[in-house]
A and B are shown apart, each in its own frame.
Chain A
Amino acid sequence: MAAAGIKDATAVVGIGQTAFARHLPEDERTLACRAVLAALDDAGIAPGEVDALASYTMEETDEVELAKAVGFGDLTWFGRIGYGGGGSCATVAQLAAAIASGQASVGVAWRSRKRGSGARPWTDTVRQLPTPAQWTRPFGLLRPVDEIAMLTRRYLHEYGATRDHLFNVALACRNRANQNPDAMMYDRPLTREMYMTSRWISEPLCLFDNCLETDGALACVVVGAERARDCRRRPVLIHAAAQGLPAQHHGMVNYWNDDPLTGPAWAAARHLWKHADLTPEDVDVAQIYDAFTALVPLSLEGYGFCGRGEGGAFTEQGALETGGRLPLNTGGGGLSEAYVHGFNLITEGVKQLRGTSTAQVPGATTCLVTAGEGVPTSALLLRAGD
């Protein structure tokens, strides 16, 4: 007999966030405490009941410090996920696994980040980022955008995708941010002319192909599905989850395997759909990791919303807008709401399935959330509970 697994065994019952801004006066630890307490209050669960924690390896707020500050109980499970934005969904997935397997009962995942006002990680020439830096950085491939632009150029060349397709992604995110008062770009509409005439960051990627730089923190609370029924809000069930690190993959400079354009999304997707009762056609709304616009067509292909090489064309005719084939990043995403290593995509997925998004997809009951593509990644398939 097959193991019960995590399918619908746990639910997200609380979400919390701070303001998002280029500069917030409080430090990361304080912001983390505020987001975590907001999420617990949203769930109606006391901090003393929390016994599991999950965050990113790049998170600076220590579990011990957080637990001490906000008054957690005895922790019986805690873990960290690597690879920056690739870890977002895995934080929730690992809490779900810990709770489904009985190692904990109330889990909190969080991310606090001061990238808007803090240093850019790539300017550190001493500490190497988790990429094979000796083969790339001396030649001037310095920043994440340079690494992804290299894949983007090849993608555009191989499949005939265009900058207009990338603009479609940027525009969908910006249009949703224009509906979301919490988004950093709430009052800043984007036009095609602005996009096409903006400055280059790393050709073929321009300013608007890049995510925001944000100070802010977010958190969410995960409990077992039974317990979830007694919480304040409509539970959002964790239907399926996966991480993805494909064979012969290399960090964010994935140029050294047979098929660089088939990235971690494909590995995560295979597991995700195999363990789900749903297919891509059943997904009502998606939150696709968008540190760079080009990650979206690659992810649409990886998660099976279209065929290989068709991700650019998929974005045409308003497919990613409200009312389109796949409304995307409905809070504004990393491109236009806030860039907090993708955690806002998780909380926005929860809002959609509660029916409380500022760009609500009518009757949405299923949402795919993905983590950073190009790096070892993760994904969640969420659905509305009773």
Chain B
Amino acid sequence: MLTPVVDPDGAPFWEHARAGRLHIQACADCGTFRFPPRPCCPHCQSFGQEWRRVSGHGRIWSYVVPHPPLLPDYAAQAPYNVIVVELDDAPRVRLVGNLVTEAGARLDSVPPEQIRIGARVRVVFDGTGLPQWVRERP
């Protein structure tokens, strides 16, 4: 499986994720969340930043079900789902992830016909450093 090729702006996100926490970059001056992380704030041009813990609750904004041809590790789990989650705490922060039955489950563990836009999800961590998502009411 591919692991994140981290850049300096994104590194804190992945450090928090490895520790089982979902943190999003925010402006230290005007407070606006920004994703993906970047050096300065597009609203107030401040270079001040902080990493703010978010609740990890959100809703599915969209999803796809990729089929092969895919990279071999992914083909082995295909068709699987990829979802975009809109965070309750920051609706413009939409994280790409996977909907799974429980932390550490396969990418195809939830049948695609059970996925719908608007469904409530919450973040879980499987220990590899990638956030995953489970349904709040399976």
Q: Which residues of A does B touch, CB under 8 Å?
A: 120, 123, 125, 128, 132-143, 146, 149-151, 153-154, 157, 199-204, 248, 250, 253, 255-258
Interface core residue of A151, A201, A253 (most chain B CB under 10 Å) = A201
Question: Which residues of B are found within 8 Å of A136, using beta-carbon distances?
Answer: 96
- The answer to whether B61 has its CB under 8 Å from any CB of chain A is yes
20 more contacts with CB within 8 A, not counting A135-B95, A140-B82, are: A125-B2, A134-B14, A135-B10, A139-B82, A140-B77, A142-B66, A142-B71, A143-B66, A150-B82, A150-B84, A153-B63, A153-B64, A153-B117, A154-B62, A202-B65, A202-B66, A203-B64, A255-B61, A255-B62, A256-B35
**A154 contacts which of B35, B96, B117 (Cβ < 8 Å)?**
B117
- B: contact size bracket: 35 or more
Judge whether A200 and B62 touch: CB under 8 Å.
no
Q: Is B130 an interface position by the 8 A CB rule?
A: yes
A157 CB contact (under 8 Å) in B1, B62, B65? B62
Chain A residues near B53: list those with CB within 8 A: none
Contacts between the two chains (Cβ within 8 Å), count: 101
Q: Does B41 contact A (CB under 8 A)?
A: no
Q: How far is the CB of B4 from chain A (nearest CB, A)?
A: 4
Nearest-Cβ distance from residue A294 to partner chain B, whole angstroms: 12
Interface residues of B in 27-85 (CB under 8 A from A): 35-36, 42, 61-67, 69-71, 74, 77, 79-80, 82, 84
Q: Is B97 an interface residue (CB 8 A)?
A: yes
Minimal Cβ-Cβ distance residue in B for A126: B5
Asked if residues B64 and A157 are in contact (CB atoms below 8 Å), the reply is no
Interface of B is mostly: loop
- Does the CB pair A140–B80 fall under 8 Å? yes
Residues from chain B with Cβ under 8 Å of A203 in the complex: 64-67, 79, 112
Q: Which of A125, A128, A151 contacts B62 (CB 8 A)?
A: A151
Once the chains bind, are B70 and A154 in contact (CB under 8 Å)? no
CB atoms of B74 and A142 under 8 A apart:
yes
Pairs across A and B, CB under 8 Å, 30 listed:
A120-B69, A135-B36, A135-B95, A138-B3, A139-B98, A140-B70, A140-B77, A140-B80, A140-B82, A141-B82, A141-B96, A142-B66, A143-B66, A146-B64, A146-B66, A149-B64, A150-B63, A150-B84, A151-B62, A153-B62, A153-B64, A200-B67, A201-B66, A202-B64, A248-B42, A250-B36, A255-B61, A255-B94, A256-B94, A258-B92
Give the chain A neighbours of B82 by CB distance below 8 A. Answer: 139-141, 146, 150
Q: Which residues of A contact B98 (CB under 8 A)?
A: 139-140
B93 located at the interface, meaning its Cβ lies under 8 Å from any Cβ of chain A in the complex: yes
Known: A128-B5, A199-B67, A256-B35. A157 touches B74 (CB 8 A): no
Looking across the interface, which residue of chain A has its beta carbon closest to that of B108?
Answer: A140
Q: Is there contact, CB below 8 Å, between A134 and B65?
A: no
Per CB-CB distance, the 5 closest pairs between chain A and chain B, nearest first, are: A203-B65, A154-B62, A134-B4, A149-B64, A255-B94
